[in-house]
Amino acid sequence: MAVIVLRCTARCVLGVLQFQSACVCWRTDCLSRWFQNVSGGTAPLSKLCSPFACIEEHLENQLLALLPESDKSRWLSLLKYVDLQQGQSLYASGQSLNHVYFPMGSIVALHGVSQSGLMSELALVGREGMVGIVSFLGGGSSTSDAVVLSSGPAFRMGAQALRHEFENSTAVMSLMLRYTQALISQMAQTSLCNQYHSVEQAMSRLLLLSLDCVQSTELNMTQEVMAQILGVRRERVSQVAVRWQRSKWIQYARGHIAVPDRSALERVSCECYKAIKKEYERLLPSDWVP
């Protein structure tokens, strides 16, 4: 039986072993069941721990979670667990894609870059989505860059494999097209926000979306990176951050941001955050079926 070893995640202390037809999570609650099996239990591993249920439990990506069971079991052999590192380039403008990524706690920023190095924020991708839509849209390459904004785990799949799935599964095609529409909506709203709304409003949108990407109240993001993404001077970002810290809305130290008062950010945010969230929830609700 072929064995693929997946490295552990933040919540899965020792690691995950993924077999062809079964998955064993080495967390305390699963470990006893695994030992029970290898020490002479008669039940097949697949009866003890459903492969994708195990992955879903610990490595959440909302697109993967929405796949029908028949597709999930097939995708199990196509996905590879990887750690994405802050600053890592997943693809650059004009390059053809070799892989696509499904973040599960990492954040990837999509942005346009001018020849002189100026950046323009397009969208953030986290647990709710995937990086590499051009793989199934047929264009082969993108005019945007994809850079890891916050380190964390992701599943990686070959771009050609996803293209094949897209062309041969109605459910995958429907899911990916819906996600593409949601991503385009985010890009449009982000463009509007950066052009017409204040730095404080755009910062709150950026932080709220980032927190959603990692489903946490904390994340790693320097003020310099925020300034680059928003296309403003760092001093503007620092002024807002100091004001928010004095109001105890956030705690910032050496690139680590804690947000004890998320509701304050939601109050100061423009309509863009809610508009982006609303469109994602409309297109990809948790109970969506193809």
**Footprint on this chain of Zn ion (rule: CB under 5 A):** 193, 197, 270, 272
Q: Which one, 133 or 272, has the nearer CB to Zn ion?
A: 272
d(Cα 3, Cα 18) in Å, to the nearest integer? Answer: 6
CA torsion, points 256, 113, 269, 184, in degrees to nearest 10? Answer: -120
Scanning the chain, the segments in alpha helix (DSSP H) are 28-38, 45-48, 51-58, 62-66, 69-75, 134-137, 159-168, 170-196, 199-214, 223-230, 234-246, 262-268, 271-283
24 in Cβ contact with 43 (< 8 Å): no
- Smallest gap from Cβ 202 to Zn ion, in A, equals 6
| Minimum CB distance to Zn ion smaller for 30 or for 193 | 193
- Judged by CB, which is closer to Zn ion: 67, or 226? 226
DSSP of 208-244: HHHHHHHTSSEEE--HHHHHHHHTS-HHHHHHHHHHH
Cβ at position 122, least distance to Zn ion in Å = 14
Nearer to Zn ion, 135 or 194 (CB): 194
Residue in the structure block whose two tokens are 């982006």: 276
DSSP element (H, E) containing 287? none
Q: In angstroms, what is the minimal distance from the CB of 42 to Zn ion? A: 59
By C-beta, is 121 or 165 nearer to Zn ion?
A: 121
Q: How far is the CB of 121 from Zn ion (least distance, A)?
A: 12
Instruction: In angstroms, give the least distance from the CB of 158 to Zn ion.
Output: 36
